[in-house]
Structure 1
Amino acid sequence: MQYRFAFAAFALAASFVHAADSPYAGQERRSIKALSEQEIADYRHGRGMRTSLAAELNHYPGPRHVLEHAQALDLSQEQQARTRQLQEDMAREAARLGERIVQKEAELEALFAGGKANHDSMRSIVGEIGMLQAEYRAVHLGAHLSMQQLLSREQIAEYDRLRGYGGTNPGGGGHKHGMMHGKMGHD
């Protein structure tokens, strides 16, 4: 009896070790091996997917989150309208690019799945994916840049507080924001 228990425990432990050695186990069943279903959906909907953290965590708010906190940020009607337009434009362009990324990843998948991959074909598709991912990220970061110009320093500081970010000076240095106290200004 003890022998069977020890053998079962050993077999169970070995299966855990084997699974730990295979972090991709199960992913071979994905339609596009390089992307999870969530990543595919995120690209197709133009979601941020952490592409804007350099902006978001350095006092360049994102339009979607600004809209979520519109009341607490005391946005003017003009700020709300411009933020909505910025969010819609960003989401539309990001979704367009995201769809192209998914298509190119599917092409890369088909190339390897069909046994037709070679260095030239692989490099060509990977290069296209890289350019599309750079454009996708630039669209998101650009929206953060534009958003910062619509808010006052006080609104950005409140945004950071609402989002749980602490620490440093919003807007960095002596940068003037385009929207000060609800009125348009110039840099």
Structure 2
Amino acid sequence: MNYIQAADDYLMYLQVEKNYSVNTLISYAFDLKLYGDFLAANDRSLVLDRLTSSTVRRFVQDQVINHGIKPRTLQRRISCLKSFSQYCLKENYMKSDFTAGIQAPKADKKLPRYMTLQELHKLFAYLEQDPRPQALRNELMFKLLATTGMRRQELVDLIWEQLDLDNHTILVRGKGKKRTPPPPSPNSFTVVPRI
């Protein structure tokens, strides 16, 4: 089978059967296209059974040397290719794993820096005094993020139908459309998972 057709099938599988988020699908589609473009640019075959781990190593080398790709991004690209290869084996699109023996580089682990309670109070005080037209919106957004454990994308995707003003609750759709219970909420609104 051809690499491009298999990649399309794989992305459809991730969307329909695995219910991956839009952002993840976009990233995987980009990574698969990059590898396909690399194969084409280097006169390599796009037939799945002709793909080899040495070609993947050359792709990784090209990403690091010619494009300056960071270890974390490279980890995702390799993970994508490994997952794609496993899918192709499962679907009998090819006979051997072209990512066998490929190891992702170790990435530096950056620990998040959290605001102290004092810094958070300062931020809230500033937002409450802000005279600009968007000030109330900004204040509510930051307070929701800081006090509920919502992710940024969950806040951005929020729609009116998710608010229940009578019961002081917000229905949050989790990452990747997963249903997970929220952390305890100390504010006046309770964040509840989708049922």
Give the TM-score category using the shorter length. Answer: under 0.3
Could you tell me the TM-score, scaled by structure 1's length? 0.27
Which structure has the greater CA radius of gyration? 1
Could you tell me the TM-score, scaled by structure 2's length? 0.26
> Which fold has the larger relative contact order, with Cα–Cα distance below 8 Å and residues 6 or more apart in sequence?
1
Bigger helix fraction: 1
